[in-house]
Structure 1
Amino acid sequence: MPHPRPPRTAARLLAALALAVLAALPAGPATARADAGPRTPAAPRTATAAAPELLIGQSTRTAWDDFQSYGQDADGGSVYYELRRGDWVGDHHRDYATMLARQGRTVQVGISWKDNPPGFPGGDENAKAARSRAVTAEIAAGGHTAALDRLLAFADAHPAARFTLRLDYEVSSFHHCTDASCSSYKNAFARLAAHLDARSRAHNLEYVFHPVRGEFEAMYPGDAAVDWMGVSVFAHELCLPIHDRGYLYNGTPPQNYDIAASQCRNAYIGTDAHGNPAAVWRNFDHDGNVLKLVKFARDHAKPVVLSEAGLMNFTADGTATDGIEQVRAEQWVNRLFSLLDYRGPIPNLPGEHDLRGVIRSVVYIGLDFRHGWDGVDDGTFDFPPDTTWFVDGRLSRYGPARAAFCRGLAANGFTARCR
């Protein structure tokens, strides 16, 4: 079951109330208060010694049911909510969230505006990103908060559940920053967190900063606003080869691919034979930006959630589950758990780094991505059958990977277990 969340400090709640009062004032132009300051700093939340969480799926209970075929006692799941409509992305998201919340579990909610910005009439990706940046500044100035009323009422109606809210997901300067300092996103994050804190009766909300890998430091909203740092972990983040339509991105046929070349080769600051500082080359099993993000979270006393983790891009044939897919899936699982237990060098940084215990939550998506982002084979949407970007990512289909996943849960102290 979910772990009890530590109470917010009085200073943090008072700061949230103060910002809520500001948010209630007329906002003026969208940029009028884009530089509104974050909440008053409070003692940072630290990772606890409690068992790490396993959250299952995204969007529907399909992945939950698949995990239940071989496992039990997962802590919760993940869904999406859209700022544009002020509602869940679909009924299936709401229904899955309801199932989890009624059981008092953790519900990770991705609150999105970059994918479908409020007020965006349509156009190309650059126009959509420009509108997303404008919406970010509008949020920082106090706008769009009414769109969260439905979500807030839902959380209040389920006080025994715990809601970890990603204030947009895989955030980036391209979609969220109006200037080099990225004050727009930092202040938008703080504004939304303050608004929700001030109006929450159940006080069961926590806030996740989930950036793209390379921009976590430049976009960080600050210790007072952030409860968790999130990161996505698919193939590249674990230095595994990425396939599409039977070929790797560099055009190499899979049968001719050297697995050693799939690892990330980076330099880190070690010592030479005489003990002097020197650049040392090493093949890593984890992307350097992911390791640096986890270190950054540790340095700021924030736990990390792997907000999206799943099997994608790993097969030479989008319909197969019996060849190279078995090997890739097992490698992915082993590297996932080795990230949770990482102690070693980090590219371009001196020394050794102990990152064990910083990652406190894993969202394993576990869907058949060939049938779309919801993984439901209902005939409404499928990815093209010849693509191998989107594949069957259910561990129930890969015996060695499933066994490795079960061992990883037990070895890392998860409450979730395999049957």
Structure 2
Amino acid sequence: MYLTRPLSTALRSLAAAALAGLLVLPGSVAAHATDTATAAAAGAPELLLGQSTRSAWDDFNSFGQNADGGSVYYELRSGDWVNTAHRDFATLLADQGKTVQVGISWKDNPPGFNGGDENAKAARSRAVTAEIAAGGHTASLDRLLAFSNSHPRARFKLRLDYEVSSYYHCTDASCSSYKNAFNRLASYLDSRSTAHNLEYVFHPVRGEFEAMYPGDSAVDWIGVSVFAHELCLPIYDRGYLYNGTPPQNYDVGASQCRNAYIGKDSYGNPAAVWRNFDHDANVLKLVKFAKDHAKPVILSEAGMMNFTADGGTTDGLEQQRGDLWVKRLFSLMNYRGPIPNLPGEYDLRGVIRSVSYINLDFRYGWDGIDDGSFDFAPDTTWFVDGRLSRYNAARTSFCQGLAANGFTAGCR
């Protein structure tokens, strides 16, 4: 989630890697040399801070320490960082040998798009995806390659576009355009990486992870965004309570998603069983999908939204629901239980190995900079100060979650 023109663990098994190496298609990439995703999945989970400026880093360091890195954005259109703040934050992290998650975008600002409505922009984004699959636009990554090669101690998690969807990236029902584009970019980057410090993140929207999956050989991490809907929490937008799930599938009083899973009736026969869930069904299914494919999950974007009805403060429901949001974030890392519309129970503990928390004041736009250049309207979903330093209960729960889950990052 980053708009440059704002709008009103699992491991891959050796056998699977060997097989993938035998099944390389034109435009795809064989299992690449980096082993850093394997190391990350085997070790402590990772805390990244984002998105885009060092203010997120500095705010966390006001009460915490030892974060593993941060998150920034880069675009194909310009062949450069989105702005100097992103470049400077990436430099700060890379100079320390930290992890830098880079969202490489073409859907938000497609090369060759010179104006029009969202449908026209999406059409151009789909065309660019096909052009990438055919080998185009790779030179736009050379500045990023030079940067990663000049910082061999750092690790780079590259999202080959983010929150990818059929609307912006697929030219046919099979979505071969995006799958081939992902493999083509990964192959290009690997072939020119002298530091061998690149990992590739497939970051889809919640419901399209299976249809758009580029394949095991190129994907190192599967990413997902976690805001309010993903944790079944209501938010306010333009003064109205909004959750993003159909009313019949949401328990307003409990602030939970209500879904059926395939359990057993009193006679032991398969039957639909209704219960409340703290986590969106598509998120749970994505984590299961990642586990099935032996891939670690990164919560590529995780942040609070506007929980306060009046839209003008961040000291009302933000204090209570912000704390609940944090608790549900960490409970997702330890989920064990049923998944809506699937039979049986699932142990998803340990699949999520990296969390990128957006530790910014979102009242002032995607970069959280109070310079008057771009502010969200006070009654919109994004109007919230998400800095953990501002919320005692949420900060305490966040610190407890880091300690309980074995993060290297912690609180003083």
TM-score, normalising length: structure 2 = 0.90
The one-letter amino acid paired with 2:400 is R
Unaligned 5+ segments in structure 1 are 20-34, 252-256
TM-superposition CA deviations, 1:111-139 (whole Å, max 9, x none): 00000000111100000000000000000
Residue 36 of structure 1 contacts residue 141 of structure 1 at CA under 8 Å; is this kept in 2?
no
Q: Which residue of 2 aligns with 1:144?
A: 137
Q: Secondary structure at the match of 2:225?
A: strand
Structure 1 range deviating more: 54-63 or 43-52:
43-52
The one-letter amino acid paired with 2:341 is N
Instruction: Report deviation, 1:247.
Output: 2.4
1:187 to 168, 173, 180: 180
Q: Secondary structure at the match of 1:186?
A: helix
Q: Secondary structure at the match of 2:210?
A: helix
Residue 258 of structure 2 contacts residue 275 of structure 2 at CA under 8 Å; is this kept in 1?
yes
Q: Secondary structure at the match of 1:362?
A: strand
Residue 268 of structure 1 contacts residue 346 of structure 1 at CA under 8 Å; is this kept in 2?
yes
Rounded to whole Å, the distance in 2 between the matches of 1:352 and 1:42 is 34
Q: Which residue of 1 aligns with 2:153?
A: 160
The one-letter amino acid paired with 2:312 is T
Do residues 39 (structure 1) and 32 (structure 2) align?
no
TM-superposition CA deviations, 1:20-66 (whole Å, max 9, x none): xxxxxxxxxxxxxxx94533468997573300000001110111111
Rounded to whole Å, the distance in 2 between the matches of 1:145 and 1:365 is 29
Instruction: Report deviation, 1:375.
Output: 0.4
TM-superposition CA deviations, 1:213-238 (whole Å, max 9, x none): 00000000000010000000000000
Q: Secondary structure at the match of 1:392?
A: coil
Instruction: Report deviation, 1:317.
Output: 3.0
Rounded to whole Å, the distance in 2 between the matches of 1:250 and 1:96 is 33
Rounded to whole Å, the distance in 1 between the matches of 2:379 and 2:230 is 24
Q: Secondary structure at the match of 1:231?
A: strand
1:390 to 383, 396, 403: 383
Residue 343 of structure 1 contacts residue 356 of structure 1 at CA under 8 Å; is this kept in 2?
yes
The one-letter amino acid paired with 2:409 is A
Do residues 345 (structure 1) and 338 (structure 2) align?
yes
Q: Which residue of 1 aligns with 2:319?
A: 326
2:97 to 77, 98, 104: 104
Provide the aligned length of Structure 1 versus Structure 2.
391
TM-superposition CA deviations, 1:55-88 (whole Å, max 9, x none): 0011101111111111110000000000000000
Residue 315 of structure 1 contacts residue 388 of structure 1 at CA under 8 Å; is this kept in 2?
no
Q: Which residue of 2 aligns with 1:209?
A: 202
Instruction: Report deviation, 1:245.
Output: 3.1
The one-letter amino acid paired with 1:209 is F
Rounded to whole Å, the distance in 1 between the matches of 2:237 and 2:175 is 34
- Specify whether residues 259 and 331 from structure 1 end up closer, same or farther in structure 2 by C-alpha distance, changes over 3 A only: farther
Rounded to whole Å, the distance in 1 between the matches of 2:32 and 2:95 is 31
Q: Which residue of 1 aligns with 2:168?
A: 175
Q: Which residue of 2 aligns with 1:317?
A: 310
Structure 1 range deviating more: 236-245 or 134-143:
236-245
Q: Which residue of 2 aligns with 1:88?
A: 81
The one-letter amino acid paired with 2:93 is L
Residue 243 of structure 1 contacts residue 389 of structure 1 at CA under 8 Å; is this kept in 2?
no
Instruction: Report deviation, 1:261.
Output: 4.9
Q: Which residue of 1 aligns with 2:263?
A: 270
Rounded to whole Å, the distance in 1 between the matches of 2:76 and 2:333 is 32
2:280 to 260, 265, 287: 287
Residue 317 of structure 1 contacts residue 388 of structure 1 at CA under 8 Å; is this kept in 2?
no
Q: Which residue of 2 aligns with 1:62?
A: 55
Do residues 135 (structure 1) and 135 (structure 2) align?
no
Do residues 417 (structure 1) and 407 (structure 2) align?
no
Unaligned 5+ segments in structure 2 are 1-10, 245-249
Instruction: Report deviation, 1:398.
Output: 1.1
Q: Secondary structure at the match of 2:263?
A: strand
Rounded to whole Å, the distance in 2 between the matches of 1:298 and 1:408 is 22
Q: Secondary structure at the match of 1:99?
A: helix
TM-score, normalising length: structure 1 = 0.88
Aligned-residue Cα RMSD (Å) equals 2.5
Instruction: Report deviation, 1:246.
Output: 3.2
The one-letter amino acid paired with 1:240 is L
- Specify whether residues 389 and 40 from structure 1 end up closer, same or farther in structure 2 by C-alpha distance, changes over 3 A only: closer
Rounded to whole Å, the distance in 1 between the matches of 2:61 and 2:46 is 16
